[in-house]
């Protein structure tokens, strides 16, 4: 079976998280061929793979969202749109009506549209946008509206116009652009389309846009509605939606996904791999706190550093080891180092990429300060190693640490996002009691062994793929 795995902003350019999930899934499915359709932000990433690909990944097709800058406009505008096509474009811009994705796909890929920018320079599009402005944005200068919409839509047009590898099954690991391309693959080739959501992409984009400086206040709503529109393509066209935990399922249903499509398959960890480092380190050393994390803003390392400054007042011997690559967002890494220096904190080590398993044996507590998560592998690894955790209350963290009706007991503490004082208090409470650390670490290990094994995760996806393989050829697109 040939599976096209579609990933945005992750595999194979970035390690950890979703990328590790994709790599593990492909590696443990040797009887299937995988084509990776990788969506990156910048052409500079081309070929910069951070993984040694297993032999059953037979191709990596790269798409970059800034490639539209190479497009040259057509010499003459001869584009004419049907009423249905104009309505689809209007709906994409938040027109309130159901969006006919099949119509939009066919328009954008048609020979009538010369380049990714051609459609947006046409008289027809200007008329659609003018109507939208009259209805909802009359107070905004048209030129500002046009250039905002152009920057918003060009990456989407580029991805839709690109070559889509032919496969037996399309599997997107998020909504957004990856979800749109999964829907497009189904539309073009009449093959099944699966969506796995780790975090809720549209909610994450909403949080970013609300805080963003580059979006004017009156355009924030336009951008947010746009990303929810992209999610609709994946939710409506997918054959099944796999999510990792119960709260994610509830959010997907609130956004508009059909409950009957949703299935829960949690991430898993191979507990046996951590047996040699499980449990607390020997007594007598400093209190070592660790974070297994990418140094990017969504992980909110600054809150972690501010928290550690308070921990040092109560536990002056404490150390913080931040384990993960520092080159993904160099400016943010520099800001984190500067914050630690400004606060006068010693005993923070930025390790870069290390062998996590070896490092875990030296640690007493694991922390995670993210603004958004799905089911973090870092916490599953910590549980497999019998380490108590302090996390923000995001994604499945509360479910992992507190359980959901199971008998194992708490494996750590969850605190509100960005509350560095609450995070510090929880770390200090664990730091003062080796008995509590051992008790919570043992609870996490027991829960991981019972509910979050890697073998169960792989088995579930193997059965899922086999189901679609046995189904044979899939009907033509549901939108046709």
Q: Which residues of 406-420 are buried (b: 16+ CB within 10 A; e: fewer)?
A: eebebbbbbbebebb
Domain count along the chain = 3
- pLDDT over threshold 50, residue 269: yes
Cβ neighbours for 54, distance < 8 A, ≥ 6 positions apart:
23, 26, 27, 30
Place of tokens 């089911």: 375
- pLDDT over threshold 60, residue 346: yes
The predicted pLDDT at position 229 comes to 94
Partnered with residue 415 across adjacent β-strands are 392
- pLDDT over threshold 90, residue 353: no
The predicted pLDDT at position 69 comes to 59
3-state secondary structure of 78: coil
Q: pLDDT tens digit string along 171-191?
A: 999 999 999 999 999 999 999
Question: How high is the mean pLDDT of the chain?
Answer: 92
The predicted pLDDT at position 97 comes to 78
- pLDDT over threshold 90, residue 224: yes
- pLDDT over threshold 70, residue 232: yes
476 domain-assigned: no
Q: Is the CB of residue 428 less than 8 Å from the CB of residue 438?
A: no
Mutual orientation of helices 217-237 and 176-189 as an angle, nearest 10°? 40
Q: How many CB atoms lie within 10 A of CB 327?
A: 9
Q: Is the CB of residue 229 less than 8 Å from the CB of residue 201?
A: no
379 domain-assigned: yes
| pTM for the structure as a whole | 0.88
The range of the structural domain enclosing residue 432 comes to 271-452
Phi, psi for 472 (deg, rounded to 5): 75, -150
338 domain-assigned: yes
The predicted pLDDT at position 283 comes to 86
Q: What is the CA radius of gyration of the chain?
A: 24
The predicted pLDDT at position 15 comes to 87
Instruction: Give the residue-averaged pLDDT of 237-244.
Output: 96
Q: Is the CB of residue 417 less than 8 Å from the CB of residue 300?
A: yes
76 domain-assigned: no
CATH number reported for the structural domain that contains residue 404 in this entry = 3.40.50.2000
Least trusted range by pLDDT, from 15-19, 75-79, 352-356, 396-400: 75-79
Same domain, 120 and 239: no
Last residue of a domain, one of 91, 126, 152: 152
Same domain, 283 and 403: yes
209 domain-assigned: yes
74 domain-assigned: no
Beta-strand (E) ranges in 173-327? 193-197, 240-243, 262-264, 288-292, 319-323
Q: pLDDT tens digit string along 60-79?
A: 999 998 876 566 655 567 78
Same domain, 357 and 409: yes
Q: pLDDT tens digit string along 99-109?
A: 999 999 999 99
Cβ neighbours for 72, distance < 8 A, ≥ 6 positions apart:
115
DSSP conformation letters of 196-240: EESS-HHHHHHHHHHH-SSS-HHHHHHHHHHHHHHHHHHHHH-SE
For the record, the structure tokens of 344 come out as 């006068």
The predicted pLDDT at position 71 comes to 61
3-state secondary structure of 471: helix
Same domain, 446 and 462: no
Same domain, 255 and 125: no
Cβ neighbours for 22, distance < 8 A, ≥ 6 positions apart:
5, 7, 10, 11, 36, 173
Same domain, 129 and 146: yes
3-state secondary structure of 279: coil
Partnered with residue 320 across adjacent β-strands are 289, 348
- Which band of pLDDT confidence, cut at 50, 70 and 90, is reported for residue 474? very low
Same domain, 130 and 176: no
Same domain, 295 and 403: yes
Same domain, 8 and 56: yes
Same domain, 168 and 40: yes
The predicted pLDDT at position 72 comes to 60
Same domain, 31 and 91: no
78 domain-assigned: no
Identify the CA nearest to 352 among candidates 376, 333, 379, 332.
Answer: 333
Identify the CA nearest to 192 among candidates 480, 406, 467.
Answer: 467
Instruction: Give the residue-averaged pLDDT of 127-134.
Output: 91
Q: pLDDT tens digit string along 379-405?
A: 999 999 999 999 999 999 999 999 988
72 domain-assigned: no
CA distance 106 to 170: 19
Same domain, 261 and 302: no
Cβ neighbours for 98, distance < 8 A, ≥ 6 positions apart:
91
The predicted pLDDT at position 74 comes to 59
The predicted pLDDT at position 212 comes to 85
- pLDDT over threshold 50, residue 477: no
Last residue of a domain, one of 124, 152, 180: 152
Q: Which residue has the higher pLDDT, 392 or 327?
A: 392
Partnered with residue 322 across adjacent β-strands are 291, 350
Partnered with residue 4 across adjacent β-strands are 35, 170
């Amino acid at each position: 079976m040939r599976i096209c795995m579609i990933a945005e902003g992750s595999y194979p350019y970035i390690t950890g998280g979703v990328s590790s999930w994709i790599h593990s899934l492909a590696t443990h499915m040797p009887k299937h061929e995988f084509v990776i359709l990788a969506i990156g932000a910048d052409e500079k990433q081309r070929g910069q793979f951070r993984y040694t690909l297993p032999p059953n990944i037979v191709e990596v097709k790269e798409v970059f969202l800034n490639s539209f800058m190479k497009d040259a406009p057509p010499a003459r505008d001869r584009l004419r749109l049907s009423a249905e096509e104009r309505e689809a474009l209007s709906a994409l811009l938040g027109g309130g009506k159901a969006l006919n994705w099949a119509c939009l796909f066919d328009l954008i890929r048609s020979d009538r549209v010369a380049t990714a920018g051609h459609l947006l320079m046409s008289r027809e599009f200007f008329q659609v946008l003018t109507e939208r402005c009259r209805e909802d944005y009359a107070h905004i200068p048209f030129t500002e509206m046009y250039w905002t919409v152009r920057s918003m839509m060009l990456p989407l047009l580029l991805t839709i116009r690109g070559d889509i590898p032919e496969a037996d099954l399309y599997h997107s690991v998020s909504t957004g652009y990856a979800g749109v391309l999964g829907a497009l693959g189904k539309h073009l080739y009449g093959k099944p389309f699966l969506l796995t959501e780790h975090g809720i992409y549209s909610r994450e984009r909403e949080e970013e846009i609300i805080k963003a400086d580059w979006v004017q206040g009156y355009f924030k709503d336009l951008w947010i509605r746009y990303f929810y529109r992209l999610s609709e393509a994946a939710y409506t066209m997918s054959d099944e939606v796999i999510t990792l935990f119960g709260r994610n399922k509830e959010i997907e249903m609130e956004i508009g996904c059909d409950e009957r499509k949703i299935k829960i398959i949690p991430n898993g960890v191979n507990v046996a791999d951590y047996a040699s480092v499980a449990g607390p380190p020997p007594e007598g050393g400093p209190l070592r706190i660790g974070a297994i994390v990418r140094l990017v803003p969504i992980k909110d390392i600054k809150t972690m550093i501010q928290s550690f400054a308070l921990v040092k007042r109560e536990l002056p011997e404490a150390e913080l080891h931040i384990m993960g690559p520092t080159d993904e967002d160099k400016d943010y890494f520099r800001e984190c180092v500067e914050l630690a220096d400004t606060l006068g904190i010693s005993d923070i080590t930025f390790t870069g990429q290390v062998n996590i398993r070896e490092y875990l044996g030296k640690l007493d507590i694991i922390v995670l300060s993210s603004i958004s998560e799905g089911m973090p592998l870092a916490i599953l690894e910590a549980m497999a190693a019998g380490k108590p955790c302090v996390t923000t209350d995001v994604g499945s963290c509360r479910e992992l640490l507190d359980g959901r009706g199971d008998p194992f007991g708490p494996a750590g503490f969850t605190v509100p996002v960005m509350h560095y004082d609450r995070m510090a208090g929880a770390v200090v409470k664990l730091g003062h009691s080796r008995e509590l650390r051992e008790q919570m670490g043992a609870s996490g290990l027991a829960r991981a062994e019972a509910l979050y094994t890697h073998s169960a995760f792989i088995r579930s996806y193997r059965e899922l793929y086999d189901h679609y393989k046995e189904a044979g050829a899939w009907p033509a697109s549901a939108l046709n």
